[in-house]
Chains A and B, each alone.
Chain A
């Protein structure tokens, strides 16, 4: 909705730096890094590593939100994909387990896309169905137990490393690049922003909105499935009750902090990931500070408010335009 000339990203990057500096004040070793067994360790790496699942979710969510939709089912999709990966991890080769988990994500995305784009159900309701049912499906897959596994190949997704970085971080960077190439390397990005900004006008310009909407929900669920594999690998087991629980809300928050409006339109992949890091930097900071974790939620709310206010020059520009128009 903002009509201001672009001035994007400054608020988010400033907020991330400020939070990291505060973390440094709370915990003097915050910026320390050390190399051990060919992998970097330190609180900063921790923020990246712990933030990876939400960052992945945000990468998919930002596209959905840009089309003026929302996907509440990503947490449940994480549980489904984690359950499948865990169930197959020890009995099948790792590519089979991973492909099956991602395939489940693909089906979930098609389902959401079908409800939203073909049947025209409001996204928040359409994805609520899978949000509720998905966790049930995950429990059916694990038969209500916590399924553990020992396959080192799958465990690598959670605790392995590549080029000195934890595997989840590498996966996020890889997905960011792939998503960026797909979205900005094709015309998809422009068409998503046009359809999110004004669906009627875009349709009258010949934009095929249905296919596009289905594909963003599919991509969002694929990202969630990948996040589910990471979460399962991290604990070497699948907990259908708790895997990805409430993470859809963190993902939405990350997207909003990243400056994408819930009314659709302009979006930024990098800033959505940045939003996920802001959230994780806060979580880590509060843990390190020794405050009880209950504070986490309240502090989170306060920081979110501040970041949104920092972005609000857009709003004040709008107000100024409006006043000018009325004067």
Chain B
């Protein structure tokens, strides 16, 4: 299939697509080519621009610049429905069908076969069964869709989309919640469709699956096209390079090894884990030390952070602070023990948009003190003013609703929220995500400063050079487990990449 795919005409041709959200460039001059009959993996870390690209192609978002052509004809869909009419169908991870209706009803929703205005139920069931038989799926089409597994629901969604004259099928993380057997079933369906000449865009973060099924790979990073390669000609290490690393030469000089005397342990976690969430891990965090968590998307970085902060309850292992075992069942416990956590999703998990900058800054400290010990207005004003000045939050108006601030300033206010509690351990999940370059550098400078003042830091970042720049130790994760640790002298972008990929190689060897 791969040899012939090369010769085929482009089915979907995207040229120079750009899209910005306010100051943030989500897509910058991206090209993407899909040929008929190929399975094309679209890869990239969080914020790389995959979903923006899909949304622009399918008309959910309006584009700023660029063209999209289908079969050589330019199209400008203004909604997902128009894109579908043009022949581009999307099936999302969360199947957007109606689980309470029958399979047949779902397949023919909005286009039921009728006679004299009355739905011909029998005819609809017959056609539905016939259609699904084409996918080697023999199920009772009268049963509610919700009674079937997610994999079957996906196939039904795909069948519906293809039956609606789709020639381009976009599958957004279809395998995220499927088990091995179900993935096989989905892959059979995909291969069958590709053989019928349908072009399939496959978005996923499971690299094994990429190598198993895709003919070609396109990698995006930070809204830019990094490259398009034949899957068979792209070793895993190179692929991870494309997804994570900048040019290696850029990144090597940044690192300064800080000489430290053996620091005192601050918090340690032994055999700490939660079944089905993250495998048990050992982690020791010391005063004045930055530990970086590196790994691909979905490798268990955020999961580690949430467990350490008590946002998820561990079902194995123990946590201790300054050598003493502690109870860690909720964020409330964590805050009482002097932990802080700046989550990745600033808008949904971080800020309280309608409250002022002042109120957002004092929130954690107030929660720590308890309801009965309110901070007086004067204390609040003083704290807010101090941190606005210290972190240079702009505009420097403590009474402004925080939702009106830029992403970088919101992030600084969240840092201030935790610094105000004088924490011993701060967990930062993607602290520089969605922040412009200037604020980016400032946040990194802050991380270093905090660490010099004796704080223990656990930092997650997809930017490897960033991790290299500030970490004293790096823990590498893969498939929801801690798989390696690099000490001070071993840290570097190449060594981290090797640690992520080495495990890959080991797995392949194991499976073979």
Query: Which A residues have a C-beta under 8 Å from some C-beta of B?
Result: 1-5, 185-188, 190-191, 193-194, 197-198, 200-208, 212, 265-266, 321, 325
Q: Is the CB of A201 within 8 A of B351?
A: yes
Q: Name the residue among A190, A193, A212, A321 with the largest chain B CB count within 10 angstroms.
A: A190
Q: Is the CB of B359 within 8 A of A190?
A: yes
Q: With a CB–CB cut-off of 8 A, which chain A residues contact B433?
A: none
Cβ-Cβ contact count across A and B, 8 Å cutoff: 97
CB contacts under 8 Å to A, within B338-373, are 341, 343, 348-355, 359, 362-364, 366-373
Q: Is the CB of B332 within 8 A of A194?
A: no
CB contacts under 8 Å to A, within B415-459, are 417
Q: Is the CB of A198 within 8 A of B353?
A: yes
Provide 24 A-B residue pairs closer than 8 Å at the C-beta atoms, listed in order of the A residue. A2-B354, A3-B353, A3-B354, A4-B401, A185-B374, A186-B371, A187-B370, A190-B366, A190-B374, A191-B366, A194-B352, A198-B348, A201-B351, A201-B352, A204-B343, A205-B367, A205-B417, A206-B334, A206-B336, A207-B332, A207-B363, A208-B332, A265-B352, A266-B355
Q: Is the CB of B354 within 8 A of A265?
A: yes
Of A198, A200, A205, A266, which contacts B335 at CB under 8 A?
A205
Q: With a CB–CB cut-off of 8 A, which chain B residues contact A325?
A: 21-22
Q: With a CB–CB cut-off of 8 A, which chain A residues contact B401?
A: 3-5
Give Cα A325 to B309, complex, Å: 34
Q: Is the CB of A206 within 8 A of B367?
A: yes
Give Cα A194 to B361, complex, Å: 11
Q: Is the CB of B404 within 8 A of A191?
A: no
Give Cα A3 to B355, complex, Å: 8
Nearest Cβ on chain B to A210's Cβ, whole angstroms = 10
Give Cα A205 to B311, complex, Å: 10
Query: Which B residues have a C-beta under 8 Å from some C-beta of A?
Result: 21-22, 309, 311, 330-332, 334-336, 341, 343, 348-355, 359, 362-364, 366-375, 399-401, 403-404, 417
Give Cα A3 to B403, complex, Å: 7
Of A5, A200, A205, which contacts B363 at CB under 8 A?
A205
Q: With a CB–CB cut-off of 8 A, which chain A residues contact B403?
A: 3
Q: Is the CB of B331 within 8 A of A205?
A: yes
Give Cα A207 to B371, complex, Å: 9
**Closest B residue to A206 using CB positions:** B335
Q: With a CB–CB cut-off of 8 A, which chain B residues contact A188?
A: 371
Of B364, B369, B400, which contacts A205 at CB under 8 A?
B364
Give Cα A202 to B367, complex, Å: 9
**Closest B residue to A325 using CB positions:** B22
Q: Is the CB of A187 within 8 A of B331?
A: no
Give Cα A63 to B399, complex, Å: 22
Q: With a CB–CB cut-off of 8 A, which chain B residues contact A193?
A: 352, 355, 359
**Closest A residue to B362 using CB positions:** A190
In the complex, given contacts A187-B366, A187-B374, A191-B366, what are 20 additional A-B residue pairs having Cβ atoms less than 8 angstroms apart?
A1-B353, A3-B404, A186-B371, A187-B375, A190-B363, A190-B374, A191-B367, A194-B352, A197-B352, A198-B351, A200-B348, A200-B349, A201-B348, A201-B350, A202-B367, A204-B331, A205-B335, A206-B364, A206-B368, A266-B355
Q: Is the CB of A187 within 8 A of B332?
A: no
Give Cα A5 to B363, complex, Å: 20
